[in-house]
């Protein structure tokens, strides 16, 4: 039941009206969206705990390098005084021999003590290594569980909100944009963002540890380090802001491409029938070139920053080498450790900035998912919990009342239904006729609360439907749409997805819909497979299966939205016979495309420009040559 045909009827649409909502790419990731992701991951405490594990694991890794340097310094023979002087000047030969023996004993004792210290220090080094492995494992497991929890919760929240979105959202949002959220953006949250985030956190903590170590080893060049780091941060910040905008354009340019492919697949037959495949290729090429141009610009920017960051990192290395050469207080062991850190710093600078940009760009997917969650919360504000006054038998009567009801599909559009006052008595069969865009289908949408009212009320059995939950309301009203809907699965699943009915009840419904013989002829009966959209059944059979599904539910109110407009005359006759025989006690609203389907109704109404312009008994209206219904009937005969 599309609403766009209804919108097109108005000549007073605002000049700034946009049929398709534009995607906002101007906003960067906010603290609110970051907080939403942290909350989805388990909260601030859990995220801080994971961050602490990163700090501890990197600290242990750096500590192992410091301890190894300490061992080298402690047991370097050229820098220790482990050898006692064996020469003692004495004229007494006996004293000389005695002194020589004492010196030899002293050397043996010192050597034994040094070996003992070496073993002790090596044992500590080994213990640090085991501790490092242990914390790496704990950190990895904790991190994976945390981020997967976050992506799972965000996916569930977005899915829940998308399912419950009002029709206005789907009218203004291209399908490709929604698919992009659930495919590309969720893929980022599941795989790429966790990997990028882990490496980024490790890189940042390790870079800070390297900078602190360099300052401790060579404190004289702290000022030079700080100045270079400030330049480093300024260049990085400037680059990051630019490249993130490019990445946003890269992400948003993918949605039109997906939309074009999706819509073209649905209309593939028409494309070839009208020989418009070249037009498709032209559109596809333009959108693909636009998308790849942003990707190419992203990689060019990457090389721009690489040259500048490597130059600054080399200046820091040069400053450290100068300090080692001219400042004699630094020992050879710690000078070597400092050079290792300085060389490591060169590679890490560019690497960490790349990681930060990559993580921030991928975090844009969190922002896009969070936007849909927030939009869902805003658009679903009209859904309220049922009141305590709702009677459990409120739907049993089947009495429907529209009282000055008005409705619009979007807040920036005129009313589609205008001051509708209509009463449908219990068990009455109401036919709804009118030209295309007159508001016929909008009445059905209003009954299901697919769109929030702008004024007035609809009551069923004396109960205002806005005071009833959507789940309760929609589960108590049945509908047979113009296009039959079948899902991948079995026939049993399509008729009874929640296993509420017995096989006897299901076969009875199929028999009443004239589908029992067709299903019996299948090899697996009720367990026979149904392909996507029910393509292994004809259109008429699909509509009859939908009718059987309605029969099983046995609701008191039934809406037929041009249910027979796309089926042949034989299937139309079968549907009409089933309605006459099985829905005698139901209140039925028939939205008519073929006027002969409502000529036997208890009452018909004629819609025009969102208003009820005529109502009455069909046979009586056909007797009046000036009635709207009569004119529609005559127009049908001419056509």
Closest CA to 452 of 414, 390, 410, 418: 410
Exposed e or buried b per residue across 412-445, where buried means at least 16 C-beta atoms within 10 angstroms of its C-beta: ebbbbbbebebebeebbbbbbbbeebbbbbbbbb
Q: What is 454-472 written as a DSSP string?
A: EEEEEEETTEEGGGS-HHH
The pLDDT of residue 14 is: 47
Q: By three-state DSSP, how is residue 423 classified?
A: strand
Phi first, then psi, for residue 429 (nearest 5°) are -105, 110
Number of Cβ atoms within 10 Å of the Cβ of 27:
10
Exposed e or buried b per residue across 490-521, where buried means at least 16 C-beta atoms within 10 angstroms of its C-beta: bbbbbbbeeeebeeeebbbbbebbbbbebbee
The pLDDT of residue 314 is: 78
CA distance 554 to 217: 83
Closest CA to 545 of 505, 495, 506: 495
Number of Cβ atoms within 10 Å of the Cβ of 451:
21
The separation between CA 476 and the C-alpha centre of its own chain, rounded to angstroms, equals: 31
Question: How are strands ordered across the β-sheet holding 400-407?
Answer: 417-424, 400-407, 453-460, 463-464
CA distance 251 to 267: 26
CA distance 172 to 158: 18
Beta-carbon contacts of 17 under 8 Å, excluding residues fewer than 6 positions away, are 412, 413
Regions of the chain with pLDDT less than 70:
1-30, 75-116, 221, 327-330, 350, 376-390, 565-566, 636-639
Question: Could you tell me the CA-to-CA distances from 194 to 48, 111, 185, 266, 431 in Å, in that order?
Answer: 16, 52, 13, 35, 57
Beta-carbon contacts of 137 under 8 Å, excluding residues fewer than 6 positions away, are none
Number of Cβ atoms within 10 Å of the Cβ of 546:
24
**What are the helix (H) ranges across 380-448?**
440-447
The separation between CA 554 and the C-alpha centre of its own chain, rounded to angstroms, equals: 37
Q: What is 177-206 written as a DSSP string?
A: HHHHIIIIIHHIIIIIHHHHHHHHHHHHHH
Provide the 8-state DSSP code for 83: P
CA distance 352 to 23: 30
Sign of CA dihedral 406, 407, 412, 413: negative
> 278, 286 in Cβ contact below 8 A?
no
Number of Cβ atoms within 10 Å of the Cβ of 530:
20
**What are the helix (H) ranges across 253-276?**
254-266, 268-273
Dump pLDDT digits (tens) for 439-492.
888 888 899 888 888 899 999 988 888 888 888 888 889 988 888 888 899 999
Q: What is 600-632 written as a DSSP string?
A: TSSEEEEEETTEEEEEE-HHHHHT-TTSHHHHH
Give the DSSP H or E segment for 131. helix 93-163
Please report, in angstroms and rounded to a whole number, the separation of the first and last CA atoms in the chain: 24
The pLDDT of residue 378 is: 55
The pLDDT of residue 306 is: 75
Closest CA to 481 of 542, 551, 421, 534: 542
CA distance 456 to 5: 23
**What are the helix (H) ranges across 496-568?**
503-512, 516-520, 539-553
Look up residue 510 and give its two tokens.
Answer: 């199929």
Closest CA to 480 of 600, 619, 593: 593
The pLDDT of residue 94 is: 46
Residue found under tokens 């020589």: 100
CA distance 560 to 328: 93
Look up residue 437 and give its two tokens.
Answer: 């865009």
The pLDDT of residue 226 is: 77
């Amino acid at each position: 039941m599309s609403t766009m045909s209804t919108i097109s009827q108005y000549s007073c649409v605002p000049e700034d009206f946009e049929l398709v909502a534009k995607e906002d790419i101007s906003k960067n990731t906010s603290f609110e969206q970051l907080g939403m992701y942290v909350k989805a991951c388990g909260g601030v405490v859990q995220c801080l705990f994971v961050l602490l594990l990163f700090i501890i694991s990197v600290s242990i890794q750096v500590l192992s390098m410091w301890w190894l340097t300490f061992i080298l310094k402690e047991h370097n023979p050229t820098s220790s005084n482990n050898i006692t002087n064996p020469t003692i000047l004495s004229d007494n030969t006996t004293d000389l021999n005695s002194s020589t023996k004492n010196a030899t004993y002293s050397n043996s004792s010192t050597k034994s003590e040094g070996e003992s210290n070496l073993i002790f220090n090596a044992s500590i080094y080994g213990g640090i290594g085991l501790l490092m492995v242990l914390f790496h494992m704990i950190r990895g497991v904790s991190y994976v569980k945390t981020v997967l929890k976050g992506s799972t919760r965000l996916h569930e929240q977005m899915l829940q909100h998308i399912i419950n979105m009002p029709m206005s959202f789907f009218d203004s949002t291209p399908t490709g944009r929604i698919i992009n959220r659930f495919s590309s953006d969720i893929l980022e949250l599941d795989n790429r963002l966790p990997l990028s985030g882990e490496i980024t956190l490790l890189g940042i903590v390790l870079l800070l540890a390297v900078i602190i170590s360099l300052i401790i080893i060579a404190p004289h060049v702290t000022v030079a380090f700080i100045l270079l780091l400030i330049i480093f941060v300024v260049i990085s910040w400037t680059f990051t802001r630019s490249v993130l905008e490019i990445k946003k354009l890269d992400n948003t340019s993918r949605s039109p491409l997906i939309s074009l492919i999706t819509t073209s697949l649905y209309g593939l037959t028409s494309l070839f029938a009208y020989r418009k495949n070249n037009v498709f290729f032209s559109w596809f090429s333009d959108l693909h070139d636009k998308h790849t141009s942003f990707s190419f610009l992203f990689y060019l920017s990457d090389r721009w920053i690489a040259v500048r960051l490597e130059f600054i990192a080399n200046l820091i290395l040069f400053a450290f080498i100068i300090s080692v050469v001219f400042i004699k207080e630094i020992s050879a062991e710690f000078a070597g450790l400092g050079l290792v850190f300085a060389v490591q710093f060169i590679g890490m600078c560019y690497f960490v900035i790349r990681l930060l940009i990559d993580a921030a760009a991928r975090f844009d997917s969190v922002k896009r998912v969070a936007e849909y969650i927030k939009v869902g919360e805003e658009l679903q504000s009209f859904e309220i919990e049922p009141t305590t006054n709702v009677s459990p038998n409120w739907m049993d009567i089947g009495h429907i009342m529209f009282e000055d009801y008005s409705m619009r599909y979007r807040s920036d559009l005129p009313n589609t239904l205008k001051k509708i006052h209509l009463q449908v008595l219990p068990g009455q069969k109401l036919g709804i006729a009118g030209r295309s865009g007159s508001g016929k289908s909008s009445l059905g949408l209003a009954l299901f609360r697919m769109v929030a009212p702008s004024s007035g009320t609809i009551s069923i059995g004396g109960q205002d439907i806005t005071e009833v939950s959507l789940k309760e309301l929609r589960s108590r009203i049945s509908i047979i749409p113009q296009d039959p809907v079948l899902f991948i699965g079995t026939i049993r699943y399509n008729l009874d997805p929640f296993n509420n009915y017995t096989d006897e009840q299901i076969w009875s419904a199929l028999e009443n819909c004239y589908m029992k013989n067709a299903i019996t002829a299948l090899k697996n009966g009720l367990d026979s497979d149904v392909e996507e959209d029910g393509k292994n059944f004809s259109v008429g059979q699909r509509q009859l299966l939908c009718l059987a599904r309605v029969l099983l539910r046995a609701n008191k109110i039934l809406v037929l939205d041009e249910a027979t407009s796309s089926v042949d005359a034989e299937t139309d006759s079968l549907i009409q016979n089933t309605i006459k025989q099985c829905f005698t006690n139901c209140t039925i609203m028939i939205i008519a495309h073929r006027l002969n389907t409502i000529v036997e109704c208890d009452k018909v109404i004629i819609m025009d420009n969102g208003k009820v312009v005529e109502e009455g008994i069909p046979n009586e209206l056909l007797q009046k040559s000036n009635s709207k219904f009569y004119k529609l009937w005559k127009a049908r005969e001419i056509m």
